[in-house]
Amino acid sequence: MKLKTSVTLSADIVKMIDNASQADESRSQAIERLLRERLAAIARQAADDHDRALIDQHAAKRNVEVRETLRHQAGDL
């Protein structure tokens, strides 16, 4: 479902949108596509940041375990 809305944009932004428009794409279609692309990129970045935080959290625990193992091994020599 499409909703009609009104947005006021700077002339330079409108020019950038027009330049970014694909062939046979209206300005509204271009704005919607560009917003979707940007919002998807933001969502991907948030998911990547979350995943990286989980990896880092687990990596820190594993690093401690490895250090302890190496200390024990060095003590056995």
The C-alpha atoms of residue 74 and residue 68 are separated, in whole angstroms, by: 10
pLDDT at 24: 95
Cα 18 to chain centroid distance, Å, stands at 25
- The mean pLDDT of 48-55, rounded to a whole number, is 95
Residue 41: is its pLDDT beyond 80? Answer: yes
Which has more confidence, 63 or 76? 63
Q: What is the pLDDT of residue 74?
A: 85
Tokens matching residue 22: 């694909």
Q: What is the mean pLDDT of the chain?
A: 93
Is the pLDDT reported for residue 23 higher than 70? yes
* Cα–Cα distance, 21 to 8 (Å, whole number): 18
Given a contact cutoff of 8 angstroms between Cβ atoms, the answer to whether 21 and 27 are in contact is yes
**In the numeric block, which tokens belong to residue 77?**
């020599």
Read off the pLDDT band of 38 (50, 70, 90).
Answer: very high
Write down the residue that tokens 């995943």 correspond to: 51
Average of pLDDT values for 26-40? Answer: 97
Residue type, 62: R
